[in-house]
Chains A and B, each alone.
Chain A
Amino acid sequence: MKRLSGACAFIEALRCEGVKHVFGFPGGAVLDIFDAIMDAPDIEFILTRHEQGAVHAADGYARSSGKVGVCLVTSGPGATNTVTGIATAYMDSIPVVIFTGQVPTHLIGNDAFQEADIVGITRPCTKHNYLVKDIADLARVIKEAFYIARTGRSGPVLVDLPKDIMKDTIAFKYPDKVELDSYCPTYKGHLGQIKRIVDLILKSNKPVIYAGGGVIHSNASEELVNFARTMQVPVTTTLMGLGAFPSGDPLSLGMLGMHGTYAANMAVTDTDCLIAIGARFDDRVTGKIDEFAPKAKIIHIDIDPTSISKNVKVDLPVVGDCKMVLQGMLSQIREQKDEIRELHDHIRPWLECIDKWKKDQPLKYSQGSAIKPQYVIEMIDKLAPDDTIISTEVGQNQMWTAQFYKFQEPRLFLTSGGLGTMGYGFPAAIGAQVAFPDRTVIDIAGDGSIQMNIQELATVVQYNLPVKVMILNNGYLGMVRQWQALFYKKRYSQTSLAVSPDYVKLAEAYGARGLRVENPGDVKDAIQQALAIKGPVFVDFVVEPEEDVYPMVPAGAPINNMLLV
């Protein structure tokens, strides 16, 4: 067998995993790998301008395509710069494999130049991580890393590669299968429990499905839609679940929680049967936990047993893959035509009640002389093609997008839900654009967040990635300002962005196009113009400075206690 260097074996392993794109940034400890990359034209390397951007890009690639995102950076600062990106992927269960360089094994622990104990640092924010100390382990570790990242509750896995291991040689053989005796996620749900779930739903009077990101990760959207429509059960989704159920469907309630719709929050408060699917009862969803779905029997379907009864006591849990459990539920109801008809009859008043909530308190905003950010998002939704991928930053821009952009399909919405990472959206859009070069990719940003990874403008220009960045420029860190306005007597401590760059000139300085819009009448034209431009564009929408996101549930309040417009 031909002997390969560690670096070449690494590239070979990526090939065996079918990796086509790697995001990253070079450095001293990974010189051998980058040298080997020059001889691997089948693997496209995307050089970001910051390692955080590389992980977010790999994350956006994974979220939009469903494949494992791959990232390669150097040791020390290169590795530590990935931590925010890794924590972001971990909180949202995104399959990413991060390869970090490390100083040679004999120097580990010596405070060597650009040394960081990245395995120690990332232990609490990775699904698993490895330090490869022997080249004989390299192929097995890479195989396991990809396997662990994409199976079960997916998540980021980090592999630390010391420089001497990359220089060493080995007769390369990629293992056929993974042997991990202590890791075997449960996919198939318990049949008895599935039957009990269906029975409970059939007997309920006011059922609601609460769907989360797990539905998207397990590609269970079709089954969810099928089940909800057959049973006529209304569906609310979390931020991470947006797109899992088409928001145009009459059964859709939109998002629930802190900035959820009135109908969703009222329905969850009043339901007698809450069916949580691939969701984890996050505090932004539940509000005051003791008063969350107080009248309901709670059903929880999740692949991760640690999610069950973590925050809310569950009456009927099923550990398993959302798709397989939903398939089980669908085959269970196939024989129950009469019971379903009965269910339809006795939940009619419930559906009417929900329709009334929707009509009484729809999402709304008032037009004014200044551009309203919600209007910009509605126009983007109207003008962009159906398969457009939308990413957001974090804050008001994110919540308005979640509310006003009507996601009809899964994997079209990329946002940092769990960690709430400002600066996520732009690099994530880069990852999505790399995965889908022919689709429209738009980052809906705020003027605060966009500056957190603005260096990636160079990346979009270099690779001619036609990402459109729509900046809702209100001159504030808007969401924090909103809290200060509501709960801190309008004392705007450090939330006014007194100095900001001229985004048009900035985009142009990098070689991208920039547009500025100041009048509501010009919004439509500007979006059309931006969408028509072949390359990357920044559009700076100067919007109403003190617009707030409503509805809003104050922190710690029950979710039916909403501040409305």
Chain B
Amino acid sequence: MRHVVSVLVDNQAGVLSRVIGLFSGRGFNIESLSVAPTLDPTKSKMVITTTGNEQVLEQIKKQLNKLINVVKVIDYVGKEYVEREMIMVKVKAKDETRAEVLRIADIFRAKVVDISSNSYTLALTGDKGKLEGFIEILHPIGILDFIRTGTIVIEREMHTRRKLSL
């Protein structure tokens, strides 16, 4: 099962490796990871996405809580949250596909962030599903380069059953 876990930590050298060490020490793969300081510059927030069985994940959450530099661990499973990720894709854009790429970008509300005579670089934010759909569509046209940030999440304030896709 996919888990999104956020970890509030002290913003210090070596803390990231303590956290990551818990995953690697148990043979657990991290799918994505993003880290940045919070509004309080002495703390950082990490968002880790991973898949694994409940028991191992429960153990990892306890172990994370046990680390001296970890302030708080939140598992978003069962919670309502907004999830975002960003990708930048360099797409082949020759005469016949140039307009098509722009149309796709428009449909997904992606931004053109760089241009050359035979390519466009597009930036897009969204959740996992939207980004993967975008990549799938662009793939036959020819992806020259591709980079993806880790997932970030924030809990929703309105706990509606219906997921608002804004």
Partners in one complex: yes
B28 to chain A, nearest CB (A): 14
B20 to chain A, nearest CB (A): 10
Given A120-B17, A123-B18, A124-B25, A182 and B69 contact (CB-CB distance below 8 Å): yes
In the complex, the answer to whether B17 meets A306 with C-beta atoms within 8 Å is no
What 0/1 readout, one digit per residue, does chain A (305-329) give for beta carbons within 8 Å of chain B? 1100110000000000000000000
Query: Of B10, B55, B58, which contacts A182 at CB under 8 A?
Result: B10
Kindly specify which of B60-68, B85-93, B118-126, B128-136 makes contact with the partner chain: B60-68
A363 to chain B, nearest CB (A): 36
Instruction: Tell me if A37 counts as interface (CB < 8 A to partner B).
Output: no
In the complex, the answer to whether A123 meets B21 with C-beta atoms within 8 Å is yes
Residue of B nearest to A127 (CB): B68
In the complex, the answer to whether A182 meets B68 with C-beta atoms within 8 Å is yes
In the complex, what residues of B have CB within 8 A of residue A170's CB? none
In the complex, what residues of A have CB within 8 A of residue B152's CB? none
Instruction: Tell me if B38 counts as interface (CB < 8 A to partner A).
Output: no
Query: Of B14, B62, B69, which contacts A305 at CB under 8 A?
Result: B62
In the complex, what residues of B have CB within 8 A of residue A148's CB? 68
| Contact-residue size bin, chain A (C-beta under 8 Å from the other chain) | 10 to 19
Query: Of A119, A180, A183, which contacts B14 at CB under 8 A?
Result: A119
In the complex, what residues of A have CB within 8 A of residue B67's CB? 128
In the complex, A181→B72 CA distance in Å? 11
Instruction: Tell me if B70 counts as interface (CB < 8 A to partner A).
Output: yes
Instruction: Tell me if A115 counts as interface (CB < 8 A to partner B).
Output: no
In the complex, the answer to whether A306 meets B14 with C-beta atoms within 8 Å is no
What 0/1 readout, one digit per residue, does chain B (105-122) give for beta carbons within 8 Å of chain A? 000000000000000000
In the complex, the answer to whether B68 meets A180 with C-beta atoms within 8 Å is yes
In the complex, what residues of B have CB within 8 A of residue A120's CB? 14, 17
In the complex, what residues of B have CB within 8 A of residue A270's CB? none
Instruction: Tell me if B59 counts as interface (CB < 8 A to partner A).
Output: yes
In the complex, the answer to whether B66 meets A304 with C-beta atoms within 8 Å is yes
In the complex, what residues of A have CB within 8 A of residue B143's CB? none
Residue of A nearest to B9 (CB): A182
Instruction: Tell me if B71 counts as interface (CB < 8 A to partner A).
Output: yes
Residue of B nearest to A133 (CB): B13
Given A124-B21, A182-B10, A310 and B71 contact (CB-CB distance below 8 Å): no
In the complex, the answer to whether B65 meets A305 with C-beta atoms within 8 Å is yes
B150 to chain A, nearest CB (A): 22
| Contact-residue size bin, chain B (C-beta under 8 Å from the other chain) | 20 to 34
In the complex, the answer to whether B69 meets A309 with C-beta atoms within 8 Å is no
In the complex, the answer to whether A182 meets B62 with C-beta atoms within 8 Å is no
A158 to chain B, nearest CB (A): 12
What 0/1 readout, one digit per residue, does chain A (92-132) give for beta carbons within 8 Å of chain B? 00000000000000000000000000011001100110010
In the complex, A181→B10 CA distance in Å? 10
In the complex, the answer to whether B17 meets A123 with C-beta atoms within 8 Å is yes
A133 to chain B, nearest CB (A): 8
In the complex, A119→B66 CA distance in Å? 18
Residue of B nearest to A183 (CB): B68
Interface centre among A119, A124, A148, A306 (most CB of B within 10 A): A306
In the complex, A183→B68 CA distance in Å? 6
B166 to chain A, nearest CB (A): 34
In the complex, what residues of A have CB within 8 A of residue B62's CB? 305-306
Q: For chain A residues 384-401, which have a beta carbon within 8 Å of chain B?
A: none
B57 to chain A, nearest CB (A): 12
In the complex, what residues of A have CB within 8 A of residue B25's CB? 124
In the complex, what residues of B have CB within 8 A of residue A182's CB? 10, 68-72
In the complex, A123→B68 CA distance in Å? 12
In the complex, A123→B25 CA distance in Å? 11
In the complex, A514→B67 CA distance in Å? 48
Interface centre among A119, A182, A309, A310 (most CB of B within 10 A): A182
Q: For chain A residues 508-553, which have a beta carbon within 8 Å of chain B?
A: none
B71 to chain A, nearest CB (A): 4
A321 to chain B, nearest CB (A): 16
In the complex, A306→B25 CA distance in Å? 15
In the complex, A131→B10 CA distance in Å? 15
In the complex, what residues of B have CB within 8 A of residue A123's CB? 14, 17-18, 21
A185 to chain B, nearest CB (A): 9
In the complex, A124→B18 CA distance in Å? 8
Query: Of A124, A128, A305, A309, which contacts B68 at CB under 8 A?
Result: A128
In the complex, A309→B55 CA distance in Å? 9
In the complex, the answer to whether A306 meets B68 with C-beta atoms within 8 Å is no
In the complex, A309→B56 CA distance in Å? 10
In the complex, A182→B71 CA distance in Å? 5
In the complex, besides A181-B71, A305-B65, 19 extra interface pairs with C-beta distance below 8 angstroms are: A120-B17, A123-B14, A123-B17, A123-B21, A124-B21, A124-B25, A131-B14, A182-B10, A182-B69, A182-B70, A182-B71, A182-B72, A183-B68, A304-B66, A305-B62, A305-B66, A306-B66, A309-B58, A310-B59
What are 30 A-B interface contacts by the 8 Å CB criterion? A120-B14, A123-B14, A123-B17, A123-B18, A123-B21, A124-B21, A124-B25, A127-B68, A131-B13, A131-B14, A148-B68, A180-B68, A181-B71, A182-B10, A182-B68, A182-B69, A182-B70, A182-B71, A182-B72, A183-B68, A304-B66, A305-B62, A305-B66, A306-B59, A306-B62, A306-B63, A306-B66, A309-B55, A309-B58, A310-B59
B interface residue numbers (CB < 8 A to A): 10, 13-14, 17-18, 21, 25, 55, 58-59, 62-63, 65-72
